[in-house]
Structure 1
Amino acid sequence: MQLPQIRLQSQMAKIQIQQTPARQEIRQPKADLSIEQPKADLTMKTKPAKLNIDQTQAWEDMNRMHVSKLIKKFANEGQQALLEGIGRRAEQGAQLMKIENKGNPIPQQAIANAFDGMKTLGIKFIPSQFSVHLDYQPAEVDIDVKPNKPIIDAKINKPTHQYERGSVNINMKQYQNLDIDFVHLFPES
């Protein structure tokens, strides 16, 4: 025996969501930067050093002097020798005038006048110590430096911003449905 049946077949509704995401792009370009460093202004002034060497006394110690000084020296030595000679002769004359006072001045004067005194030995072409005079003035250096500030040129670039809106589309993918079917309601004959 077949029983009557009611058959129900349902279909749920389905929605479809299609989404396009939003797109955003932000860029920050680098700043345009220009830096220039001018050289410093530098001035230098130099006063040169001075060295004076005076060797006049050294040359004079070696009897190598200017002609006028040499003539003057020889004239002084000659005058001194003349005065010594006059003095010696005056003294010897006085001794001869007093010959009566016990003494024998003639042989003594003959011996004294016959021989020169003892000569001194030594090197005469070497100048005396510290006879060369040095005078030194060091150099003077004046340095003037003027620093220059750097020249900085900065140009700021604005950020670039791009934005695309997103979207959401909602559709019905499948509608709801209810099918009702009756089976075996009437007997089959």
Structure 2
Amino acid sequence: MKIPQIQINITDIKMEYTVQDPVQKIQQPKASQSIEQPAAILEINTTRGKLKIDSSQARRDLGLIGPLESSKNFAEEGKQENLSGIKRRVTEGRQIMLQSGKEKGRSTIQNIAKQNHGPTRPGPYNIKFVPSIGSVKIDYTPGTTDVHIEQQAPKIEHKVNKPSIDYTPGKVSGTMVQRPDVDVMV
């Protein structure tokens, strides 16, 4: 006996796919930044120092005096010498007058001559500092310096740039090359 048989043939579908890949471009521009530092404000105020030097006494000690003072000193010295000369002559005249007589006349004049023209001893010897110590007077008033600084803050400006994104999506397209088929045979 024969058993009936069923035979089934299946043909699968055949497809061809075309794939277009997606494209994505991302660019990140750099941030833009500007920095500016203004200069600090600087003010300096000074007052001058004053130095006073008085060397007039030292110049006098060295004999360096002005013409007015020199003529005044010489006039005073001449006046004193004139008065001392008058005094000496008056004293000598009084001495001659009081001691004049027949026996003493010559001896009185000889004594007066010895007093005026005899050897004189010089004054004591000593060291003299010229100019004298402390004859130069110095007066100094110091100056002042005031410094004022005003700091300036930096100016910073920045801008963040957004990224640019360019995206092209991919595509998939398919074409059927072979249709599916089912054959049943008895």
TM range, normalised to the smaller chain?
A: 0.5 to 0.7
Q: What is the SS of the residue equivalent to 2:161?
A: coil
Range moving further from structure 2, 118-127 or 142-151 = 118-127
Range moving further from structure 2, 169-178 or 48-57 = 169-178
Task: Give the superposition deviation at 1:108.
Answer: 7.7
Which segments of 5 or more consecutive residues in structure 2 lack a partner in the other structure? Answer: 1-8, 99-107
The percent of aligned pairs where both chains have the same amino acid is: 35
Paired position in structure 1 for 2:174 = 170
- 1:156 partnered with 2:160: yes
User: Equivalents in 2 of 1:125, 1:63: separation in Å?
Assistant: 13
How has the CA–CA distance of structure 1 residues 120 and 80 changed in structure 2, closer, same or farther, with 3 Å as cutoff?
Answer: farther
Q: What is the SS of the residue equivalent to 1:61?
A: helix
User: Equivalents in 2 of 1:148, 1:26: separation in Å?
Assistant: 41
User: Equivalents in 1 of 2:28, 2:131: separation in Å?
Assistant: 88
1:127 to 127, 131, 141: 131
Paired position in structure 1 for 2:144 = 140
User: Equivalents in 2 of 1:173, 1:122: separation in Å?
Assistant: 144
CA contact (8 A) 1:34 1:154 kept: yes
CA contact (8 A) 1:32 1:156 kept: yes
User: Equivalents in 2 of 1:114, 1:155: separation in Å?
Assistant: 114
User: Equivalents in 2 of 1:29, 1:167: separation in Å?
Assistant: 30
* 1:37-186 map, 5 Å: 37-67=37-67, 69-70=69-70, 111-115=114-118, 116-118=120-122, 126-175=130-179
The code of the aligned residue for 1:33 comes to Q
Task: Give the superposition deviation at 1:55.
Answer: 0.9
Which segments of 5 or more consecutive residues in structure 1 lack a partner in the other structure? Answer: 1-8, 98-105, 180-189
Render the CA deviation track for 1:79-114: whole Å, top value 9, x for unaligned.
Answer: 88768x96xx98xx9xxx9xxxxxxxx788764543
User: Equivalents in 1 of 2:37, 2:53: separation in Å?
Assistant: 49
Task: Give the superposition deviation at 1:167.
Answer: 1.5
Task: Give the superposition deviation at 1:160.
Answer: 1.5
Task: Give the superposition deviation at 1:169.
Answer: 1.9
TM-score (normalizing by structure 2)? 0.59
Render the CA deviation track for 1:111-146: whole Å, top value 9, x for unaligned.
Answer: 454344415778989423443233333442222111
User: Equivalents in 2 of 1:66, 1:120: separation in Å?
Assistant: 30
User: Equivalents in 2 of 1:47, 1:145: separation in Å?
Assistant: 18
CA contact (8 A) 1:19 1:169 kept: yes
Paired position in structure 2 for 1:28 = 28
